[in-house]
Amino acid sequence: MKEIKVIIEPSRVKDVLEALRGIPDTPDVVLSEVTEYGNPDQNCNFFFIEKQACLEVVVPGSQASEVVDIITNAVNSSGGSSGRIIVTDIDCAAEIRDIEAGVA
Q: How many other CB atoms are found less than 10 A from the CB of residue 20? A: 19
What is the pLDDT at residue 37?
76
- Average pLDDT along the chain, 104 residues, taken 10 residues at a time: 94 93 88 82 69 94 94 81 89 75 48
Strand stretches in 1-104, DSSP E? 2-8, 29-38, 48-59, 83-89
What is the pLDDT at residue 98?
66
Q: What is the pTM of this model?
A: 0.80
What is the pLDDT at residue 83?
85
All structural domains of the chain with their residue ranges: 2-89
- CA 9, distance to chain mean position in Å, is 11
What is the pLDDT at residue 104?
44
CATH code for residues 2-89: 3.30.70.120
What is the pLDDT at residue 92?
86
